[in-house]
Amino acid sequence: MPDYQELLLTAMAAARETAGRGRVADYIPALATADPNAFGMALATVDGDLYGVGDWEQPFSIQSVSKLFSLALVLAHGGDAIWRGVGREPSGNPFNSLVQLENEHGIPRNPFINAGALVVTDRLQSLTGDAAGAVRDFLRQESGNPLLDTDPAVAASEAGHGHRNAALAHFIASHGNLENPVETVLDRYYAHCSLAASCRDLALAGRFLARHGLRADGSRLMSCSEAKRINAVLLTCGAYDAAGEFAYRVGLPGKSGVGGGIVAILPERAALCAWGPSLDEVGNSVAAVAALDAFTTASGWSVF
């Protein structure tokens, strides 16, 4: 059996070497207070074992990591219909770009840029009646943490500074690609992006993708094929406009967020979550990328 704890300690050492690099997200004021030197990492195996190092049980704002779970729930509830309203290609542009959306007539390039996540949130709202509640409840159930919830201060901060997201949503709606009122979609989007969870919680919650669609209780959330396809989109689109660099360094499907978290999937082995609030110029955690790079280098495990 591999020594997962030793691998995590190796990864943490690599993360500590990045101290002083990057900067904490400040375009959402409520995120600017995060400790730039914080770091945590957790690993949840498909067999039910759990390992962690550093600040692995400290909650943080998951931000765009939530887009992984909203997409999974839409596919689980509504099947492939979502792909009529959003693509599956890397964007090549910043995650909040308006230009690309205009050129492509209100069809976002992929579900992990902001425009695509708004469409996914809209469809999840139609399917469940409460998109944010559906994501929250899924994370609570998979992590076993009943206290996991939206941070209202972060949600309010996002809403108060969300002019670009509002512009994206109105533009998408102008092309008939939203089913619900713009205000509802934005509110639910901010609520699920503002969920506070720890590395522990997110590693456990992401484990269904390492288990080919099986949930923690053994029930099936989605088919093996659907889980494979989510992992494929994570690999090509999950790290903002640096998905190629992430695939090159880490070699795993992963989803990052400007709160500093990254969830990565080791199919048939485990789900990982690394967190460090200091971000590079694209919006990915400097420490978390370094840790995941060190982990896959030391272990020799990747999807390649």
As a residue count, the chain comes to 304
**Is 80 exceeded by the pLDDT of residue 49?**
yes
Q: What is the rounded CA–CA span in Å between residue 262 and residue 202? A: 9
Q: Which residues form the catalytic set?
A: 64, 67, 189, 240, 258
What secondary structure does DSSP assign to 271-284, as a single string? EEEEE-SEE-TTS-
Q: Please say whether the beta carbons of 282 and 2 come within 8 A.
A: no
CA distances from 301 to 160, 175, 248 (A): 42, 43, 13
Q: What is residue 96's predicted lDDT score, i.e. its pLDDT?
A: 64
Instruction: Give 27's pLDDT tier (boundaries 50, 70, 90).
Output: confident
Q: What is residue 229's predicted lDDT score, i.e. its pLDDT?
A: 95
Q: Please say whether the beta carbons of 198 and 60 come within 8 A.
A: yes
Neighbour count for residue 222 (Cβ, 10 Å) = 22
Q: What is residue 101's predicted lDDT score, i.e. its pLDDT?
A: 84
Q: What is the rounded CA–CA span in Å between residue 254 and residue 232? A: 10
CA distances from 192 to 96, 106, 215 (A): 17, 22, 20
pLDDT, tens digit (0-9, with 9 covering 90-100), for 81-134:
999 999 999 876 666 667 788 888 899 999 999 999 999 999 999 999 999 999
Residue 251 tokens, joined: 């070699």
The percentage of residues in the chain with a pLDDT greater than 90, rounded to a whole number, is 90
pLDDT, tens digit (0-9, with 9 covering 90-100), for 137-172:
999 999 999 999 999 999 999 999 999 999 999 999
Q: What is the rounded CA–CA span in Å between residue 73 and residue 217? A: 16
pLDDT, tens digit (0-9, with 9 covering 90-100), for 243-301:
999 999 999 999 999 999 999 999 999 999 999 999 999 999 999 999 999 999 999 99
Q: What is residue 94's predicted lDDT score, i.e. its pLDDT?
A: 64
Q: What is residue 95's predicted lDDT score, i.e. its pLDDT?
A: 64
